[in-house]
Structure 1
Amino acid sequence: MLKLKSAALAAMIVAGSFAASSAFASGLEIWNGSAWVRNGTVVISGPTTATYLGNTVPCTSAFTLTLTSGAAQVTNATFSGSGACTGITKVLPWNVSAPTAGAGTSVNLTISGINIRFPTPPQTCTGSVSGNLPNANPYSPDPPTSPGPYNAYFTFSGSLAGGCTVSHRSPGLTSDTPIRAYFP
């Protein structure tokens, strides 16, 4: 019985430590017009390029990030600019990692679970890409006062399984709502 109580106590300590560390994790916040919040949606859009099977496809992409308690997922993605772009299909959601500190005030993110299919010639590509948000809080004054887009210029690039590469084009993607990283 003593061993059972000790095991139960150890399990509660581990669970308590996990819950405490989760409460102090880094994440993302968006500006709702009056406060920084950790729940809601933001659309990040701009010029992108995909290369697959020797074909280079410049598109304009829009990615909807849904934040839940600071954790983000890409819950919608649209591609425009040509028939090759509008024909891209995707399997969602894609997970966005918690931000980590980058150079200066920039933050790094990884988007994983990407699954896209190009129409002609047909090709499916899967995997993860790394991205960078240049400032953890680029808005001055804080809180933001002007209407968007907000030029945080999210940049990303990566190689996906299936022989594809994807990346932003200069200058990067902008958000329709201010977005920033927070750290414990």
Structure 2
Amino acid sequence: MTDQTSFDTATRIAAGDDGTNYDNVAVALHWATAFLVFANFALAETWDWFAKPAKELMEGTHMSFGVLLTAVILARLVWRWIPGHQVPSLEAGWVKLASKGTHYLLYGLLAAEAVLGFTFRWGAGRPMEFFGLGIPPLIGEIARPLRGELRELHEWIGWAIVIIAVLHALAALYHHYVLRDRVLQRMLPTRRL
């Protein structure tokens, strides 16, 4: 176990954490990630059901949520890397390895999803929408066939993220209801003194 500095202790206290649960900031970022992932997936899977004005609004919202999700993921990583915000695992052995592997896989897929989303949008020479504002392209235009392949890969990765996230949630419920441990409870919002 590493020694905590007074800064580490102060940031944990400010975040409302006693060292055994995830702090309120980590919990909020986790649930924001979950909401944005499922909202974006639902938007992408249903916008073809609607007429052009509604579809365009849904696509714009999808992009805005994608930009927001990218920011949330970056904030989660930064928050996690700040000394004093690491929480020891409750699992051991292969369960611990599976848990860590799942988390790393989700982070990797979310990063790939964000890069692909920005790349095929900017590769079309169009700004990325963010709640009515345009984020100008940081790359040049790319060929239409390659953009189509990137878009298709973006869709497949979206499905993979949702499937893994659902399995992740089912595993948390298994921990809570069958194993009766604190894995799920540590990621639920709590009132702290």
- TM-score of the two chains, using structure 2 as the length reference: 0.24
Larger strand proportion of the pair:
1
Q: Name whichever structure is richer in helix by fraction.
A: 2
Task: Give the TM-score of the pair, scaled to structure 1.
Answer: 0.25
